[in-house]
Structure 1
Amino acid sequence: MKKIIFALIISCFAVAVHAQINKRDAKQRKQGPWSEQVAPLRGEPGYTWEGVYKSDRKEGVWKKYNEVGDLVAEETFHNGVLDGPCKYYYPNGKLSAAGNMLAMDIEGEVDTVTVIDPVTQEESRVEVVRKGNSVRHGEWRIWDEDGHMVKETYSRGEIVTSESGNQRKGNTILLPHEQQAAGGKRKKN
């Protein structure tokens, strides 16, 4: 009998918790705790995001899980853009990379630019909506699957030093989310 009562209490709690996620305000903006399913696309695996929205923008730590529920990433957002500590994991649960991201542009900012028609030479002003943009900033630690670590230091997206302390540019190691965008290829040092 106690088990049945306990099960009923747990299921009521789960329903109450579920009722608190994925809510929109009067202006139809995402607000509060949110869980999103992203389906597989063009050979990339699907995943689940969990975190908090404030006025339709991701805020705070968001966790990303693969289709079987393994933690893949923990990323910090501010105003809908990566800005703060991030951690990425291999499918076996081992840490693959950790460091900080710096927001350079905020999603939705609007710039007005002058455009000249190449035929009529007539000028007009056009609004351009920015997409959020983030870069690596500070020290990053990147591990291979065997546990070997490389340290890299960045200043606003530009690599300053590698593990040996030498200055260098280019050939940075791609993070897991960057590898997907680059077709799964990984740059080597």
Structure 2
Amino acid sequence: MSKIFNLCESKEMMQKLFLYVLLLSVIAGSSMAQSKINQRDAQGRKQGHWIEEVGELRGEPGYSWEGDYRNDRKEGHWKKTSAIGNLLAEETFKNNVLEGYCKYYFPDGKLSEEGAYMATEIDGQRDTIMIIDPVTNVETPTVIIRKGNSVRNGVWKLYDEETGKMLKTYYKRGETVTAEELGDTDTTTTAPSPAAKASFQLPHAGSGKQKKKG
């Protein structure tokens, strides 16, 4: 009986030891995963996966960004979520500029609009132009650093928050065009194309009310 009791006790100790080691492994793995977030290289540039918190500003609610950096530039798929965890936007970046398919959501989580952006200028791109002095007429080379810019391109779908009805607008390098110009024959749910040039302001960046031009 004594031997059986000792054997059972030994098995119980082994089980406890196994669980203890497993718990330590989980904690260590979690710590390592967290340590790989929000990292900078020796030059101070953001690298890898980042989660950035943006606080409330001028009455606008706070939010968080999550995605990957490469040499301090946003790359690939990024998500924007509200302070309470609701998805607000999914965007695609290349060289820190919107390039590719994007989706935007209403505060209740319903899809607001979706479509593709095309990058027209790379953030940080350096160009040299000649500046002529108006007095001496001497030409001097001057380096300018461009800010990244993107425009809507292709079919954009907009959804009514209450009915879910979808309307389409069409863009070609930021300019509004007709469905025929893009080869879209399904125009049954197409919204009239606005006459003004497409604005770069993101749907979630403003207050939700856009001023009319003119």
Q: TM-score, normalised by structure 1?
A: 0.83
Task: Kindly state the Cα deviation for residue 7 of structure 1 after the two structures are TM-superposed.
Answer: 6.4
- Equivalent positions of 1:105-120 (< 5 A) are 105-118=121-134
Q: How does 1:1-189 map to 2 (within 5 A)?
A: 10-118=26-134, 121-146=137-162, 147-161=164-178, 164=190, 169-170=195-196, 175-178=202-205, 180=206, 183-186=207-210
CA RMSD of aligned residues (A): 2.8
Change (3 A) 1:56 1:131: same
Amino acid at match of 1:93: G
CA offsets, 1:106-152, max 9 Å, x none?
00101112223445555432211111100110111011211122111
**Per-residue deviation, 1:102:** 0.5
Q: Is the 8 A contact 2:92 2:102 kept in 1?
A: yes
Cα 1:165–1:48 change in 2 (3 A) is closer
CA distance in 1, matches of 2:197, 2:151: 15
Unpaired runs of at least 5, structure 2 = 1-15, 180-188
Larger radius of gyration: 2
| CA 12–148 in structure 1, closer or farther in 2 if over 3 Å, else same | same
Structure with higher helix content: 2
d(CA) in 1 for partners of 2:135 and 2:59?
43
For the structure 1 residues 88 and 10, does the alpha-carbon distance in structure 2 shift closer, same or farther, using more than 3 Å as the test?
farther
- Deviation for aligned residue 1:93: 0.7
CA distance in 2, matches of 1:66, 1:167: 31
Matched-pair contact (CA < 8 Å) for 1:171–1:187: no
Structure 1 residues 69 and 115: CA distance shift in structure 2, 3 A: same
AA matched with 2:99: D
Q: 1 CA distance for matches of 2:124 and 2:89?
A: 24
Q: Tell me by how many angstroms 1:48 deviates.
A: 0.6
Deviation per CA, 1:50-100: give whole Å up to 9, x if none: 000111110000001111111100000011100001000111110001110
Q: Aligned residues, how many? A: 185
